[in-house]
Amino acid sequence: MKKKSEIICFIPARSGSTRIKNKNIRNINGKPLVYWTVFKAIKSKQFDKIIFSSDSIKYYNILIRYLKKDKLKYQNLIFDRRDITHSKTKSKIFDYIKFDFIKKFHLDKNDLLVQMLPTCPLRSIKTIKKAVKYSWINNQNCFSASEYNFHLTFGFSTSGNDWKPVFKKSPMITGSTQSQSQKKYHHPNGVINCLWVHNLLKNPKTIYTGGSPILTSKIESQDIDNEEDFKICESLFNLKT
């Protein structure tokens, strides 16, 4: 019998964060950081399986404790005990997905793998559904992206007290500094990446190869990388409640 195609959520959370120790289990808005991404994955009801991938069983146990406390149904949650070789600071999670994860969990070429990073706790369920629906209907990869907070056209490099514009027609040279006159640029973020396994088997160089951008709000795209980011996200949580 032919295997039914599945939509699988992949949430990686290694323990060896360098800028902030144990970042992924540090509390934000009263819950560990990893909780919020798993919570949204469960509540979205989009996934046949939710795979929490970490080198730390401690992280998984903490996650389960909070899920039980909030009486969330997590029967489709699976723990992936990731080998230490795939959890080092310089390890690429994309390489792990392509060369080990697919085989380890016997994913079918027609499965859709949806990666969500725990460092973006403000993602909306609406965005999850939008991205999954787009990939599923169009049979195409997609990645989340958001508009830069400040116009890139003003960008410049420095050397001592000198500066050099990145763009030849920089508004810092032309004088055309009105905000509405600037071209908009976007960047990828860690909110969500939808990846078809049959595309991953082709060993693409990046997550973005052959994918289409799904635009998210600036609030959703807030990524936690340092102490200041924690404070910003905590404030935004308070604004949403």
Domains, the chain, in order of start with CATH, read 7-145+188-240 (3.90.550.10), 149-184 (no CATH)
pLDDT of residue 180: 86
Alpha carbon 80 to chain centroid, angstroms: 18
Please determine, for residue 241, whether its predicted confidence score (pLDDT) is greater than 70.
no
Q: How many CB atoms within 10 Å of residue 58?
A: 12
Please determine, for residue 2, whether its predicted confidence score (pLDDT) is greater than 90.
no
pLDDT band at 149 (very low <50, low <70, confident <90, very high): confident
What's the mean pLDDT in 202-215? 96
Q: How many angstroms separate the CA atoms of 115 and 93, rounded?
A: 10
pLDDT band at 181 (very low <50, low <70, confident <90, very high): confident
100 in Cβ contact with 118 (< 8 Å)? no
Please determine, for residue 88, whether its predicted confidence score (pLDDT) is greater than 70.
no
**26-75 confidence digits (pLDDT tens):** 999 999 999 999 999 999 999 999 999 999 999 999 999 999 999 999 99
> Which helix (H) or strand (E) covers residue 2, if one does?
none
Single-letter amino acid, residue 225: D
Alpha carbon 140 to chain centroid, angstroms: 18
pLDDT band at 87 (very low <50, low <70, confident <90, very high): low
Please determine, for residue 237, whether its predicted confidence score (pLDDT) is greater than 90.
no
Angle (CA) 60-54-42 rounded to 5° is 55
pLDDT band at 1 (very low <50, low <70, confident <90, very high): very low
Alpha carbon 199 to chain centroid, angstroms: 19
Q: How many angstroms separate the CA atoms of 162 and 39, rounded?
A: 49
pLDDT band at 240 (very low <50, low <70, confident <90, very high): low
List CB contacts of 43: < 8 A, sequence separation 6 or more.
Answer: 125
User: What predicted TM-score, i.e. pTM, was given to this entire model?
Assistant: 0.91
**94-131 confidence digits (pLDDT tens):** 999 999 999 999 999 999 999 999 999 999 999 999 99
> Which helix (H) or strand (E) covers residue 212, if one does?
strand 212-215
6 in Cβ contact with 108 (< 8 Å)? yes
